[in-house]
Amino acid sequence: MSKKEYYTCPISLTSQFYFCPMPLRLDTYSGCINNCVYCFANNSSQKFMNDKKTDINKMRGQFTNKFVKPTKLKYVKKYFDIAFKNHKNTLSNQEGAAIPAIRRRVPMHFGGMSDGFQQMEKTERVSLNVLKLLKSYDYPLIISTKCKLISEDEYYNVIKDYKNIGIQVSLIDNRQEVANIIEPGLGPTSVQDRLDILNRYKDKWTAVRIQPFIINLTENIIDGFLEQLKTYNVNHIVIEGLKFMSSNKSVNMFISETFKKITGKEYDLLRYYKSIGAKCSGTDIELPSWRKEIYMKKIIKKCKELGMTVGAADNDLRLLGDNPCCCGNKDMPGIENVNKHNIGFATFRAQDKCNGNCCNCKVKIEYDDIKNEKQFEGNFRVVKSIKSLKKKYGENATYHDTEKDISELFDKQWNSVGKNSPEQNFYVIKTNKFDKNNMRIYRFKTEEELNLERIPKNQSSLNKWF
């Protein structure tokens, strides 16, 4: 009998610290059997295939418990012992950088790469014990889950008087027939079960994550969907568009074939993306900003009518949200401790100077707007795979070759233009001016500049699904 393996790095700072107010993630499992077709972690990372003899492409959508590693309570407790009990910090890079963030009580996102309440939790109970640990510190926590297990009494009794906690439920469509196809591992948890989670925790701060938002699918029923969520006292809606992968054709084919099952039509969603000017951002192929802007403005208008706030989780449209923290609003527990040293806060603060009328104004987006905010300390490993490590640093390279100081990384990305700089926002453009600290100055686009970018490359579109 083989020895049981455990996940030893349950907490870390993610690479989103450039723009995310909550880049501190906690996962009690490595791997997830919810088998969501669109899952970025499932589709992009070999970590889900702990059985290295298995072909990830053949197993896509069929992950079972044997592919999942639970963590142990002691691995989570270690971070808090270092942060608050002065134990020696033996962690490095992303994990080590989490320690000063924990000391600052930066809110932690529980469920960044896997669902902490998936079926294995019924026997492991590691998420339950971690919740008890974090509650003892009243540590600010936002839980993301799709699974009904969190509604059971054992969990509810821990959470009900946990003051510094919010609950986010992932639900990208309210039709069970759609969920059955795109989230096949959630058989035990129906759409209604997820609505029941919201109902059980209606006295807590709650949000619904429509991530990903899929054009011509949920887009067609979004008004009624939002009205339904309002009846469950949801405080906040998080929206992010579906992304394809720029380097994995099998993933893209798998996603497209799945959507054909829903529609019954030969509708190639990726082809549609490209026909209207899809853009590449890192490893992602995304809808062009102008197309996302269409449904985002519709959602924002409806949520405003219903008294719910909106978080724009697409980095290029972050300014459309109610605040720089797409995961929350002003009532979210622990929001006062979020990371403010990021490009989102810089652009929002510049927008505030414009009184909301940024087009044709002369207000600058400057690093000075966030310079005095505390940023993350420590190093970050910028290359994650052995293959890319050797390609970039040579055959004898080690991970130490990729350790970079976080503050240096941030400065470089701010000035680099594009991804991880203020210019990744649809409404922002670079200037060729630099401030006294040698940091690039940006500005908002004029209405004329924006309108030119709202013209699709190809005006024709494929057939609608419904």
462 pLDDT band, cuts 50/70/90, is very low
The whole-number pLDDT of residue 419 equals 86
Range with the lowest mean pLDDT among 264-273, 319-328, 363-372?
A: 264-273
Whether residue 418 is predicted with pLDDT greater than 90 in this model: the reply is no
61 pLDDT band, cuts 50/70/90, is low
Higher-pLDDT residue of 232 and 280 is 232
378-385: average pLDDT: 84
Whether residue 54 is predicted with pLDDT greater than 50 in this model: the reply is no
Q: What percent of the chain has pLDDT over 70?
A: 90
Structure tokens at 207: 């949000």
Query: Which of the given ranges, 68-72, 213-217, 381-385, 397-401, has the highest pLDDT on average?
Result: 68-72
Whether residue 81 is predicted with pLDDT greater than 90 in this model: the reply is yes
Domain boundaries, the chain: 11-343, 344-453
Higher-pLDDT residue of 113 and 168 is 168
The whole-number pLDDT of residue 239 equals 97
| Run of H or E including 451 | helix 447-453
| Model pLDDT for residues 188-201, shown as the tens digit of each residue | 789 999 999 999 99
Separation between Cα atoms, residue 413 and residue 410, nearest integer Å: 5
Whether residue 460 is predicted with pLDDT greater than 60 in this model: the reply is no
The whole-number pLDDT of residue 281 equals 80
355 pLDDT band, cuts 50/70/90, is low
17-29: average pLDDT: 96
Architecture of the CATH domain 11-343: Alpha-Beta Horseshoe (3.80)
Structure tokens at 2: 């083989």
Q: Yes or no: say if 204 and 281 are a contact pair by the CB < 8 Å rule.
A: no
Chain-centroid distance of CA 434 in Å reads: 31
The whole-number pLDDT of residue 42 equals 64
Q: How many alpha carbons lie under 13 Å from residue 128 in its C-beta half-sphere?
A: 16
310 pLDDT band, cuts 50/70/90, is very high
Cβ-Cβ contacts under 8 Å for 178 (sequence gap 6 or more): 217, 262
Q: Angle 289-306/222-230 helices, nearest 10 degrees? A: 40
Higher-pLDDT residue of 79 and 284 is 79
454-463: average pLDDT: 62
The whole-number pLDDT of residue 122 equals 95
317-341: average pLDDT: 95
Percentages (nearest 5) of helix, strand, coil residues in the chain: 40, 15, 40
E-state strands within 171-290 = 205-213, 236-241, 244-245, 279-281, 284-286
Residue 422 preceded by cis peptide, ω within 30: no
Range with the lowest mean pLDDT among 3-7, 47-51, 125-129, 444-448?
A: 47-51
Separation between Cα atoms, residue 408 and residue 414, nearest integer Å: 10
465 pLDDT band, cuts 50/70/90, is very low
The pTM is what? 0.92
Separation between Cα atoms, residue 40 and residue 211, nearest integer Å: 11
Separation between Cα atoms, residue 39 and residue 37, nearest integer Å: 6
Higher-pLDDT residue of 281 and 376 is 376
The whole-number pLDDT of residue 357 equals 58
The whole-number pLDDT of residue 2 equals 57
Complete DSSP assignment for 377-425: -SEEE---SHHHHHHHH-TT--GGGGEEEHHHHHHHHHHH-STTSGGGS
The whole-number pLDDT of residue 123 equals 95
Cβ-Cβ contacts under 8 Å for 357 (sequence gap 6 or more): none
Q: What percent of the chain has pLDDT over 90?
A: 66
Separation between Cα atoms, residue 289 and residue 445, nearest integer Å: 14
The whole-number pLDDT of residue 229 equals 98
The whole-number pLDDT of residue 66 equals 66
| Model pLDDT for residues 225-263, shown as the tens digit of each residue | 999 999 999 999 999 999 988 777 777 888 888 888 887
The whole-number pLDDT of residue 393 equals 82
pLDDT averaged over the chain? 88
